[in-house]
Amino acid sequence: MLSIAETARISDLAHIEGSVRGTRITIEDHVFIDSFVRIRPVGGTGDVRIGRNSFINSGCALFSGNGIDIGEWVLIAPNCTLAPTNHAYMSREVTIRHQGFLPGKGGIVIEDDVWIGANCVLLDGAVLRRGCVVGAGSVVRGEVEAYSVVAGNPLRKTGMRGTQDGA
């Protein structure tokens, strides 16, 4: 099921696929989805919600997997991947493609007023607390503290919002 608010703006060059397993995709008021964004309901039965006034920049890929919940006023820079799912791979006798998926780690949760820099990857179990900033090129696997500034792979805290020097 796809629900798009009347005030949402979605580029004609974005691609949002329908679900065959009942995944709900909800795009709330004043969301902007830029060109070449792809939203695919694959890898599980989780829902995708993009909260009010959020902006998904060009080239981003969102896979529903175990679910993605994006809060309000979230900024996602170009070419980010949100992948809340993991392939099973342990058997040598079965191709990875035919092993299905590992149990979920809770999907991806992005609270309000978060900025995710370009080329970031968010994996299953990532929780970005209110107001945090994720530097470009980072990989997020776990919880990011509210109002913190983090970057890298492995992810490291580099500062806090609201302080003079960001530290």
**pLDDT by position in tens, the chain (length 167):** 899 999 999 999 999 998 878 899 999 999 999 999 999 998 778 999 999 999 999 999 999 999 999 999 999 999 999 999 999 999 999 999 999 888 889 999 999 999 999 999 999 999 999 999 999 999 999 999 999 999 999 999 999 998 765 55
Domain count, the chain: 1
Residue 50 located in a structural domain? yes
Domain carrying residue 71: 18-126
Q: Report the sign of the C-alpha dihedral through residues 129, 16, 87, 103, in that order.
A: positive
Rounded to an integer, what distance in angstroms lies between the CA atom of residue 121 and that of residue 137? 7
CATH number at residue 119: 2.160.10.10
Please classify residue 162 by burial: count the beta carbons closer than 10 Å to its beta carbon, then call 0-12 exposed, 13-18 middle and 19+ buried: exposed
Q: Which of 43, 62, 41, 50 is nearest to 4 (CA)?
A: 50
Task: Specify the pLDDT at position 164.
Answer: 64
Residue 140 located in a structural domain? no
**Contact in structure between 67 and 89 (CB atoms under 8 Å):** no
Tell me, yes or no, if the pTM score tops 0.75: yes
Task: Specify the pLDDT at position 165.
Answer: 59
* Residue 45, both tokens: 């039965």
Residue 8 located in a structural domain? no
Task: Specify the pLDDT at position 43.
Answer: 77
Dmax (CA) of the chain = 56
Edge-first strand order for the sheet with 127-128 is 2-4, 25-27, 48-50, 68-70, 108-110, 127-128, 143-144
Task: Specify the pLDDT at position 166.
Answer: 55
